[in-house]
Amino acid sequence: MKKSKFSEEQIVRILKEVEAGAKVAETCRKHGISEPTYYVWKSKYANMEVSQLRHLKDVEAELSRLKRMYADLALEHHRGEWSSAIDLQAVDVKTDVQAVRNELPTPGYAPLNLRSGYCWKLAESAGLRLDAGIGNLANKKYDCRWAAAIGPTPRDTGPTFEF
């Protein structure tokens, strides 16, 4: 996506000019933008102050960073009432931390999980399902520095069995 040559402050200032009574066409010509660009900005940033716009950009950047940090890959197989799955949850190394949020750098990890289940149809709209699974199939202990503060997690304790 192309980066705008206008900062958040400039975008808000342009929108406020029109809100104050200036004509859209004149304002667009004055600032060298097209009318469709003005209306895109208006739909995104209408009634926002500069501080709110900066906060929105920060939240979008954090969400983008979190999406890149975590991946979940699963292979599921269904045959009749039986279902089986194997999944891999991969979490990236976290080195970009913020002291304000008391974040700690953490290593990446990737537990492998296995699960299977059977479903009985009891009636048209009701059923009973039995699931069993093994978490952290490789029995690898993951070094999570934050775990001491909140107690043991399945990644810290080795394989877990769910029934």
- Express each pLDDT in 8-54 by its tens digit: 888 888 999 998 899 999 999 999 999 999 999 898 888 888 888 88
What pLDDT does residue 144 have?
Answer: 53
Backbone angles phi, psi at 112, to 5 degrees: -105, 130
What is residue 114's three-state secondary structure?
strand
- DSSP E strands: which ranges in 59-139? 70-79, 82-91, 112-121, 127-135
- Domain-by-domain residue ranges, the chain? 8-64, 70-162
Question: What is the pLDDT at residue 84?
Answer: 93
d(CA 87, CA 65): 22
How distant, in Å, are the alpha carbons of 11, 21, 24, 45 from that of 36? 14, 19, 10, 14
Beta-carbon count within 10 A of 103 CB = 12
pTM (2 decimals)? 0.42
